Amino acid sequence: MSQAQNTGQVMKAVIRIQRFNPDVDRKPYLADYPLDITDDTTLLDALETIKNELDGSLTFRRSCRHAICGSCAMNINGKNTLVCNRRVKAFLDGKGRVTIRPLPYLPIIKDLVVDRSAFWEQYLRVKPWLIPPASYNENQAPNSEFRVMPEEVAALKNAETCIMCGACYSACSVVGMNKKYIGPHALLKSFLRVMDPRDSAPAERLENVGGDDGVFRCHTIFNCIDVCPKGLNPTQAIETLRKLAQKRRDFEAARVERQKTLEADHV
């Protein structure tokens, strides 16, 4: 049963999708799929309906349908976003048409599925995991948590809700020019670790992101902010990392002092 039959007034729409099968096609092309939609039909609903009822060969990634897994980021009418929580109606142009393409700047595997290897490689470059204080013994369960101040937690708010969808990465013009650039997603994660008082390697992180492929490569174009489906601000995080990278020794010294109080509370 198509989504159009579920709720609301039915209207006509044309879903224009970029198709590409590397085994058959020499280059990507656009295909139109007329569809009945309602006010509530999401872009993912439309893709599912096309796959189930019109063309079973259509390929795309999706998983949670709740804008939390980050699988379904695509390029809609030229702008990256998630398709699971965006309604078709909001994107229709004057001809009742919406165009769906894969994320730009990334190699296409098939149709709307892109190769995210570069995205994950850059993510791992910044060591996105927490490096705990020296007193932490991973072989012995701690009796209490490391207590972090509310204002320190608030500083992490900008970064901790990233769902790694890749919308910012593939909207970044610098990434388009240079795949060695760390990218806004990984720099945001690095910001999260640098600002976390429990992390004991901020200077190492700042040296890493302050290198040739890091924060000084950003041209402050703001594409990452513009497309982030979670409303995060990677550019602000990059600006903060730029400032800290220039005084990383002082920042490291302050962190050492802060961790002494953390460890005193931690039994």
Partner 1 sequence: MRVFVLQRVTAVALVVFLTLHMIVVHYPPGHLDFSRVMVRLANPVWKVIDILFLLSVLVHALAGAYAVLIDAERIMPYKRILAWGAIALGVVAFIYGTITIINFKVLV
Q: Which residues bind partner 1 (CB under 8 A)?
A: 174, 177-180, 210, 212, 216-217, 219, 242, 245-246
**Closer residue to partner 1 in complex, CB, 43/106:** 106
Q: How many whole angstroms separate alpha carbon 239 and alpha carbon 221? A: 12
Q: How many whole angstroms separate alpha carbon 60 and alpha carbon 110? A: 8
Which of 186, 212, 193, 173 has the alpha carbon at shortest distance from 255?
Answer: 193
Shortest distance in whole angstroms from residue 238 CB to partner 1: 12
Shortest distance in whole angstroms from residue 120 CB to partner 1: 18
Shortest distance in whole angstroms from residue 18 CB to partner 1: 25
**Closer residue to partner 1 in complex, CB, 110/180:** 180
Shortest distance in whole angstroms from residue 265 CB to partner 1: 35
Shortest distance in whole angstroms from residue 67 CB to partner 1: 32
**Closer residue to partner 1 in complex, CB, 217/266:** 217
Shortest distance in whole angstroms from residue 187 CB to partner 1: 15
**Closer residue to partner 1 in complex, CB, 7/178:** 178
Shortest distance in whole angstroms from residue 222 CB to partner 1: 17
**Closer residue to partner 1 in complex, CB, 198/248:** 248
Beta bridge partners of 110: 113
Taking each helix axis from N to C terminus, what angle separates 184-195 and 202-209, rounded to the nearest 10 degrees? 160
**Closer residue to partner 1 in complex, CB, 180/258:** 180
Shortest distance in whole angstroms from residue 130 CB to partner 1: 26
**Closer residue to partner 1 in complex, CB, 35/126:** 126
**Closer residue to partner 1 in complex, CB, 42/223:** 223
Residues 6+ apart with CB under 8 A from 179: 118
